[in-house]
């Protein structure tokens, strides 16, 4: 277990804190995964959704600590990247 970072109230306290060896403060527990988005966004989409759904999306995005537009984009990417359900695969195979 690593030490917890102290609450630093001034810039001087922060600078003094950073002058020391911070090894005791660094561990995997202090880090969270972050997804970087490298590809540029070239298209814009306008949707109409219920206020309740938008509130739920905003709430979930806030829980994850990301903007709600990014949350929606990630949900779409996850939906597209997961394997298609069995019925969808059968329909695609039949149409070939």
Interval 11-26: pLDDT, tens: 999 999 989 888 887 7
Number of separate domains in the chain = 1
Query: Can you give the pTM of this predicted structure?
Result: 0.52
For residue 54, tell me if it sits in a domain: yes
Give the per-residue pLDDT at 28: 74
Does 11 fall in a domain? no
Give the pLDDT score at 52.
97
Residue ranges, the chain, pLDDT below 70: 1-2, 30, 33-37, 87-89, 96
Q: Is residue 63 part of a domain?
A: yes
Domain coverage including residue 61: 49-94
Whether residue 39 is contained in a domain is answered as no
- 72 domain residue, yes or no: yes
Q: Residue 44: inside a domain, yes or no? A: no
Residue 19 lies in a domain: no
Q: What is the DSSP string of the chain?
A: -PPPPPP--SHHHHHHHHTS--GGG--GGG--------SPP---------HHHHHHHHHHHHHHTS-HHHHHHHHHHHHHHSPPPHHHHHHHHHT-
Task: Confirm whether 15 is domain-assigned.
Answer: no
What is the pLDDT at residue 94?
A: 75
């Amino acid at each position: 277990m690593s030490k917890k970072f102290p609450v630093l109230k001034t810039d001087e306290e922060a600078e003094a804190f950073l002058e020391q060896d911070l090894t005791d403060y660094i561990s995997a527990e202090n880090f969270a995964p972050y997804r970087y988005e490298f590809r540029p966004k070239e298209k814009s989409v306008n949707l109409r959704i219920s206020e309740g759904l938008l509130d739920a999306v905003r709430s979930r995005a806030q829980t994850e600590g990301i903007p709600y537009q990014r949350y929606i984009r990630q949900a779409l990417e996850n939906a597209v990247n997961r394997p298609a359900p069995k019925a969808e695969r059968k329909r695609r195979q039949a149409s070939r």
